[in-house]
Amino acid sequence: MLVEEAMKTDVITVNKETTIQEAIELLEKHKIRHIPVVEQDHTLIGIVSDRDIRDARPSIFHKHLDDDQFLQEPVSKIMKSPVHTAHPFDFIDEAAVILYEKDIGSLPVVTDDDKLEGILTETDVLHTLIKLTGAHQPSSRIEVVVPNISGQLANIANILKEHDVNVTSVLVYPTKDTKNKTLTFRVQTMDPRQIISEIKKKGYEVSWPALPRWSYDE
Amino acid sequence: MNEALFIYSEEQLTYKFNDDHPFNHVRLNLTHDLLRDMGALKDNHIIPPRMATDEEIALIHDTSYIEAVKAAGEGKLSAGVANNYGLGTEDTPIFPHMHEASALLVGGTLTAVDKVMTGESQHALNLGGGLHHGFRGKASGFCIYNDSSIAIEYMRKKYGARVLYVDTDAHHGDGVQWAFYEDHDVCTFSIHETGRYLFPGTGAVSEKGAGQGFGYSINIPLDAFTEDESFIHCYETALRELIEFFKPDVLFTQNGADAHYHDPLTHLSTTIKTYHYIPKVAHELAHEYCDGKWIAVGGGGYDIWRVVPRAWAIIWLEMTNQKDLIEEELPESWLKKWQPKSPVTIPPKWSDPENMYPPIPRKQEITEKNEKMLEKALYHIRNEKK
């Protein structure tokens, strides 16, 4: 999945002359934490976060200073520059790695000439995770433990194909020992009994769900 | 005024995917016969369902979806297009005249609604309805048209009613919840097996509604292997507090009977005892808060021999205050007629045997976990009361 598929395009921006006061109002009004600072032609020059503003604020223990004076300063005085950015055609997983490694909350998305196209926040990445796991679509979940050798996913997928069941998502992750892997499927059916018993018949361990405790065949 | 009406006709059995499909409306026949044989259901109780019109179905569903269902039922829908609408899948296969069969189930629920809302009857029961997984433009989980969502919207538009929807099916009532997720005139309450593995996967306690509807979707996901005591406690506590908070004009209950130990699709461990309590509490509260207005529909229930007939018959007996007709044994004539057709031995008694299943080792843990879910589900209601 590409960044441009997950990013927000209606970005709230400011220019470098905008006052800190106005920036605070925008953050509160739109319930956001980051505002890109742009030139008139949308070239990205910096970013202001709620944290930058907090750092600029006088301490509540310094009551008698001219507290509010700083609010009239331009945002260019506190903005961070240069900015960590992503490209619309980056993979979302690459962007997630930058967010994680740099410990930041959002990435402005810019084209090759630094023109702002959108913004990708932690929330957007989390929403993408929900989509990738298929947790938002009606489905049943099946977990299968398979040996850590090639062809296992195909074997299970074949069973699903034979039952004409659509797969919403597949996750593959290692178990604690490296001998096995866990395959997690979300499948679009309310009745996974046949599939589970087929998988078991092929010698795989279905870690959950358990088959019902009885069946009509007993 | 009638005490209660029973919506039924053999035509409701035309909602049939195929012989091997777990959703089997022979259940309606079994329940009807059981009530007849014990003398609890008379001709004057029974009202045949009407057909729902396209306009009524379109209260909830997209017109393009309705057209697709019609075309599918006439064998005129291509596989690719069908797939976009969730039709022709293993869960909701295409069958001849599926639009008419589905519209009749919807019409049955609308018949029940009209009888109650016009004051012709205090309560009404349409066991053919309760297809709570149907979405605006998509069939899902054995459900084509969502009769319950349609009926709720119909009650709001036609009668201006505030509706409390109560869903005790073991699967989350997702279709109804999402249809009214941003609505504060409809409150949906679903108690179900956790969606960690079970279809449809939603119904977390954190799903509470959105926008104006925040706080008006209540979910209690129960741990697998939950037994009577914990189920009943969570259901009754939540429903009592919820109805006092919401003060609905009418109570609409979906009575899936698939939380029973015997049900092949789910992993809860209740017994028939739970199915005495569910309608009992609903009945009492309908009189206390809704001037008696109570509409009940069916739903899931996949042990159609050992569980569903008893569980559903009890709803009718409760509605009509005829529970004294329950003797120890089921009517012999009924057993004689149906046992030969059943692949399993039908229990001859109304109550389930003691020790029907081996003791559940994590019982304490499960009970405590459910209790926490109950607290979380009711948190905002209890806060508002303070």
How is chain B split into domains, by residue range? 2-47+107-385
Locate the chain B residue with the closest alpha carbon to A207.
B197
Q: Is A69 on the interface with B (CB under 8 A)?
A: no
Co-location of A138 and A40 in the same domain: no
Mutate one of B90, B227, B355, B357 to test the A interface: name it (highest A CB count within 10 A). B90
Question: Is the Cβ pair B264, A164 closer than 8 Å?
Answer: no
pLDDT at A15 over 80: yes
Co-location of A152 and A180 in the same domain: yes
Kindly indicate the confidence band of residue A211, based on its pLDDT and cuts at 50, 70 and 90: low
Co-location of A116 and A142 in the same domain: no
Q: Is A163 on the interface with B (CB under 8 A)?
A: yes
Is residue A10 domain-resident? Answer: yes
Kindly indicate the confidence band of residue A130, based on its pLDDT and cuts at 50, 70 and 90: confident
B 197-256 residues inside an 8 A Cβ radius of A = 197-202
- Residue A189 has its nearest CB partner, among B90, B174, B261, at B90
Is residue A213 domain-resident? Answer: no
Mean pLDDT of A99-119: 94
Q: Phi/psi at A2 (nearest 5 deg)? A: -95, 155
Co-location of A184 and A106 in the same domain: no
Q: What pLDDT is stored for residue A212 in this prediction?
A: 55
Is residue A196 domain-resident? Answer: yes
- Residue A163 has its nearest CB partner, among B90, B196, B264, at B90
Is residue A165 domain-resident? Answer: yes
Question: In Å, what is the CA distance from A83 to each residue of A48, A114, B230, B360?
Answer: 10, 10, 54, 57
Chain B residues touching residue A135 (CB < 8 angstroms): 201
Co-location of A163 and A202 in the same domain: yes
Co-location of A104 and A195 in the same domain: no
Start-to-end Cα distance in chain A: 47
Question: Is the Cβ pair A213, B89 closer than 8 Å?
Answer: no
Residues of chain B where predicted confidence (pLDDT) is lower than 50 = none
Q: What pLDDT is stored for residue B384 in this prediction?
A: 85
Is residue A218 domain-resident? Answer: no
Is residue A148 domain-resident? Answer: yes
Rounded Cα–Cα distance for residues B2 and A28 (Å): 58
Co-location of A104 and A168 in the same domain: no
Locate the chain A residue with the closest alpha carbon to B92.
A189
Domain that holds residue A82: 3-130
Q: Looking at residue A149, which CATH number applies to its domain?
A: 3.30.70.260
Question: Alpha helix locations (H) across B184-328?
Answer: 228-246, 272-289, 308-319
Q: What is the ipTM of this complex?
A: 0.77
Rounded Cα–Cα distance for residues A28 and A21 (Å): 11
Q: Is B133 on the interface with A (CB under 8 A)?
A: yes
- Residue A208 has its nearest CB partner, among B197, B343, B357, at B197
Q: Looking at residue A126, which CATH number applies to its domain?
A: 3.10.580.10
The residue among A75, A96, A130 that closes a domain is A130
Q: Is B357 on the interface with A (CB under 8 A)?
A: yes
Q: Is A208 on the interface with B (CB under 8 A)?
A: yes
Question: Is the Cβ pair B91, A163 closer than 8 Å?
Answer: no
Name, of A53-67, A180-194, A203-217, B300-314, the range with top average pLDDT: B300-314
The total of structural domains in chain A comes to: 2
Chain A residues touching residue B79 (CB < 8 angstroms): none
Rounded Cα–Cα distance for residues A212 and B337 (Å): 28
Q: Is A166 on the interface with B (CB under 8 A)?
A: yes
Q: Is B267 on the interface with A (CB under 8 A)?
A: yes
Provide the 8-state DSSP code for A31.
Answer: T
Co-location of A143 and A90 in the same domain: no
Question: Is the Cβ pair A138, B200 closer than 8 Å?
Answer: yes
Locate the chain A residue with the closest alpha carbon to B138.
A138
Question: Is the Cβ pair B197, A142 closer than 8 Å?
Answer: yes
Please give the mean pLDDT across all residues of chain A.
88
Q: Are A137 and A199 in contact (CB under 8 A)?
A: no
Question: Is the Cβ pair A212, B263 closer than 8 Å?
Answer: yes
Q: What pLDDT is stored for residue A63 in this prediction?
A: 65
Question: In Å, what is the CA distance from B15 to each residue of B9, B46, B68?
Answer: 12, 19, 17
The residue among A76, A106, A130 that closes a domain is A130
Co-location of A104 and A175 in the same domain: no
Pairing of strands A106-110, A44-49: unpaired
Chain B residues touching residue A141 (CB < 8 angstroms): 196-197, 201
CA angle B355, B281, B132 (to 5 degrees): 85
Q: Please tell me which residue in B32, B133, B262, B283 is annotated as part of the active site.
A: B133
Rounded Cα–Cα distance for residues B14 and B382 (Å): 45
Asked if B133 is an active-site residue, the reply is yes
Neighbours of B19 (CB within 10 A): 6
Q: Is A151 on the interface with B (CB under 8 A)?
A: no
Rounded Cα–Cα distance for residues B176 and A19 (Å): 48
Chain B residues touching residue A139 (CB < 8 angstroms): 199-201
Chain A residues touching residue B91 (CB < 8 angstroms): 188-191
Co-location of A189 and A93 in the same domain: no
Chain A residues touching residue B141 (CB < 8 angstroms): 138, 190
Q: Provide the whole-model pTM.
A: 0.85
Chain B residues touching residue A138 (CB < 8 angstroms): 133, 140-141, 174, 199-202
Q: Using the CB atoms, write b or e for A181-201: b if 16+ within 10 Å.
A: bebbbbbbbbbbeebbebbee
- Residue A166 has its nearest CB partner, among B22, B89, B196, at B89
**How many Å lie between the alpha carbon of B53 and the closest alpha carbon of chain A?**
28
Mutate one of A164, A182, A191, A197 to test the B interface: name it (highest B CB count within 10 A). A191
Question: Which of 3.40.800.20, 3.50.50.60, 3.40.640.10, 3.40.50.300 is the CATH number of B2-47+107-385?
Answer: 3.40.800.20
Co-location of A204 and A169 in the same domain: yes
Q: Is B140 on the interface with A (CB under 8 A)?
A: yes
Question: Is the Cβ pair B201, A186 closer than 8 Å?
Answer: yes
Neighbours of B180 (CB within 10 A): 23
Kindly indicate the confidence band of residue A64, based on its pLDDT and cuts at 50, 70 and 90: low
Locate the chain A residue with the closest alpha carbon to B143.
A190
Is residue A214 domain-resident? Answer: no
Chain B residues touching residue A165 (CB < 8 angstroms): 89-90
Torsion over CA of A125, A131, A133 and A136, rounded to 10 degrees?
130
Q: Phi/psi at A124 (nearest 5 deg)? A: -65, -40
Question: Is the Cβ pair A190, B91 closer than 8 Å?
Answer: yes
Chain B residues touching residue A213 (CB < 8 angstroms): 261, 357
Rounded Cα–Cα distance for residues A12 and A34 (Å): 9
Q: Which residues contact A135 (CB under 8 A, 6 or more apart)?
A: A186, B201
Locate the chain A residue with the closest alpha carbon to B306.
A216
Provide the 8-state DSSP code for A135.
Answer: T
- Tokens in use for B373? 């879910």
Q: Is B24 on the interface with A (CB under 8 A)?
A: no
The residue among A76, A103, A130 that closes a domain is A130
Co-location of A103 and A117 in the same domain: yes
Q: What pLDDT is stored for residue B220 in this prediction?
A: 98
Kindly indicate the confidence band of residue A67, based on its pLDDT and cuts at 50, 70 and 90: low
